[in-house]
Structures are given as structure tokens and as C-alpha cells.
């Protein structure tokens, strides 16, 4: 959240009205959204300005209509005032009307993945979602805080459904993993070995290229947080406080493309990648 504008601004009034329409108290809404009651109070009094992440959770938790959600985002200034329901997903490709937050996050990815011809991704900590096995995906989502069994099942299923896009021969994928991503202990040794074997199989796909930046290799650039570039315009960044989608076309896309190139210069591909993955398997078997 950021410091807000005038007291009881149109945005603040709208947030309050939606809460009251759903017959929720401030504490009840705060519990649903995982924030404090004080945060809700400040938002409804215009003392705080909501983030996109908060607004999307707010719209989902209150089951707002697409029209109400669009109005909310326009009042918050995160989409142009002239945007319509037709082009709304360009700015925030989430479906506010169904699915839980975990599955909806996977579908937001899928929207951009289906639309892009080329996808580049860098992951310093774990295996990217498009490359995960079912067991690894389940472990990763659990570690991310998804504890509700139903939400977990939906999230895993949605993540695996996303992987169908890899079968489209007209698309190109390039993923870079830091060496640490292969060593992060997620799941049992057997599950981790299964994940590495899956990467070995995927490395033979003609439209998919995987690179690993070995831990002992000198970096040519300061390691960034996880990020993805869709074609040459749309950028997604994973941050500790939430996901960040840069609106398209983003002036920052060129920065991330250049950053990706510098990271690629330190990576190993092809036979060297296979040798790196086999070494990981040997360590897991030891």
C-alpha cells in the first residue's frame, strides 16, 4: 500500500460501499484478505492507496462483477479510464468471477503464455512452473502457503494444464536457471530426481531451450529476482510482497531482455547442460 490522497476519495468510498453491500465488517474483510483491520480502515478513509495485488484479491473475495472490478481499477488509476471490458485483460489478466486465488494466478500466467510467440524466463530459486513435475508443483505450492487441500489440487491442476503450451511448435521457450535452483531442497530425493529427469527429457524438445548458470561460474550481472518476458513487450516479476505485471508495452522490457542476454552468457546449454543435470542426479543418489 502507498500513502493515499484525499479523505473519502471516490475510490475509498467505493471500497467501503462494496464491503457494506456484502454485509462484512472491517475485521471480517481484513481476515479474508490477510491484512489488518487498521489497513482496511485507512483504505476506506483514503489514507492508504491500494496496490493492484490488494484490489485483485478484494475483487475476488467479494465476488465483484467484471464491470465493478474494472471501475475499481480505473478509480485506483492502474488502468486507463477509457479501457473497456474487452481490453481489460491486457492490464490484469485475472478472472475475478471464478476459481480460487491459487488457480487464478496460474490462469493469469496461461493467458500471457498462450498469447506470446516467445517466452523467456529466469529462475534463481526453483524450477519454473512450465517445467515442473506434478510432485514438485505440489511441494512448491505448499511451501508458498497453499494449505487448503481443494485449493492445492486446483492450483496443481491449473499449473499442469499450463504446460500444454509447450507442445505448440510455433512457440519458442528459453529458460535460465541458477545453479541454486537445482539444489533447493523441495520434496524428497526421489521427487527431486524425478524433476531433474524431467528437465533432461524436456531439454530434447526442439522449441524449448534450457540453460543453467553454474554456481561456481562468475556472474556477468548482479542476479535479479525471478522474471519472465513475453515476446518483447510484457514483463512479469516475482517479488516477496506479490507478483508484478508491467503493463504492455513496457519501457522496461528492453532492460530485462538485455539482462536475460547477460545471464545467458554465463549459462551452459546442450551437452554441458546434460552433464550438469547428471551431476545433480549423482548427488541426489549419494
Q: How confident is the model over 121-142, as pLDDT tens digits?
A: 999 999 999 999 999 999 999 9
User: What residue spans in the chain does CATH classification 1.10.260.40 cover?
Assistant: 2-78
SS3 68: helix
The whole-number pLDDT of residue 242 equals 63
CA distance 110 to 94: 10
- What confidence tens digit (pLDDT) does each residue in 260-275 have? 999 999 999 999 999 9
Q: How confident is the model at residue 3 (pLDDT cuts 50, 70, 90)?
A: low
Of the two residues 116 and 33, the one the predictor is more confident about is 116
Contact 193, 281 (CB under 8 A): yes
- Average of pLDDT values for 183-191? 95
Q: How confident is the model at residue 83 (pLDDT cuts 50, 70, 90)?
A: low
Contact 79, 70 (CB under 8 A): yes
Among 281, 176, 284, CA closest to 227: 176
Question: pTM of the prediction?
Answer: 0.67
The whole-number pLDDT of residue 8 equals 63
- Average of pLDDT values for 212-239? 88
The whole-number pLDDT of residue 89 equals 47
Fold of the domain built from segment(s) 2-78: 434 Repressor (Amino-terminal Domain) (1.10.260)
The answer to whether residue 257 scores a pLDDT higher than 90 is yes
Q: Which residues pair with 48 in a beta bridge?
A: 3
Beta strands 48-49; 234-239: pairing state: unpaired
CA distance 235 to 240: 17
Of the two residues 151 and 175, the one the predictor is more confident about is 175
User: What residue spans in the chain does CATH classification 3.30.870 cover?
Assistant: 101-285
- Average of pLDDT values for 229-238? 88
Fold of the domain built from segment(s) 101-285: Endonuclease; Chain A (3.30.870)
Q: How confident is the model at residue 101 (pLDDT cuts 50, 70, 90)?
A: low
Amino acid at each position: 500500500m502507498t500513502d493515499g490522497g484525499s479523505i473519502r476519495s471516490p475510490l475509498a468510498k467505493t471500497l467501503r460501499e462494496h464491503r457494506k453491500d456484502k454485509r462484512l465488517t472491517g475485521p471480517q474483510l481484513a481476515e479474508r484478505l490477510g491484512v489488518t483491520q487498521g489497513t482496511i480502515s485507512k483504505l476506506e478513509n483514503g489514507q492508504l492507496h491500494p496496490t493492484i495485488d490488494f484490489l485483485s484479491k478484494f475483487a475476488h473475495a467479494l465476488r465483484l462483477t467484471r464491470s465493478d472490478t474494472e471501475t475499481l481499477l480505473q478509480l485506483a488509476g492502474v488502468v486507463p479510464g477509457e479501457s473497456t471490458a474487452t481490453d481489460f485483460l491486457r492490464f490484469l489478466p485475472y478472472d475475478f468471477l471464478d476459481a480460487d486465488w491459487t488457480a487464478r494466478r496460474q490462469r493469469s500466467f496461461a493467458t500471457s503464455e498462450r498469447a506470446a510467440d516467445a517466452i523467456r524466463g529466469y529462475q534463481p530459486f526453483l524450477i519454473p512452473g512450465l517445467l515442473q513435475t506434478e510432485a514438485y508443483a505440489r511441494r512448491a505450492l505448499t511451501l508458498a502457503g497453499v494449505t487448503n487441500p481443494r485449493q492445492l489440487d486446483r492450483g496443481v491442476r491449473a499449473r499442469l494444464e499450463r504446460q500444454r503450451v509447450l507442445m505448440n511448435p510455433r512457440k519458442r521457450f528459453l529458460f535460465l536457471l541458477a545453479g541454486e535452483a537445482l539444489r533447493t531442497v523441495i520434496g524428497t530425493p526421489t521427487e527431486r530426481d524425478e524433476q531433474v529427469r524431467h528437465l533432461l527429457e524436456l531439454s530434447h524438445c526442439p522449441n524449448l531451450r534450457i540453460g543453467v548458470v553454474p554456481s561456481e561460474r562468475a556472474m556477468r550481472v548482479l542476479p535479479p529476482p525471478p522474471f519472465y518476458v513475453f515476446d518483447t513487450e510484457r514483463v512479469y516479476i516475482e517479488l516477496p510482497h506479490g507478483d508484478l505485471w508491467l503493463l504492455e508495452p513496457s519501457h522496461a522490457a528492453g532492460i530485462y531482455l538485455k539482462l536475460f542476454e547477460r545471464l545467458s552468457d554465463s549459462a551452459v546449454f546442450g551437452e554441458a547442460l546434460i552433464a550438469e543435470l547428471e551431476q545433480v542426479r549423482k548427488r541426489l543418489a549419494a
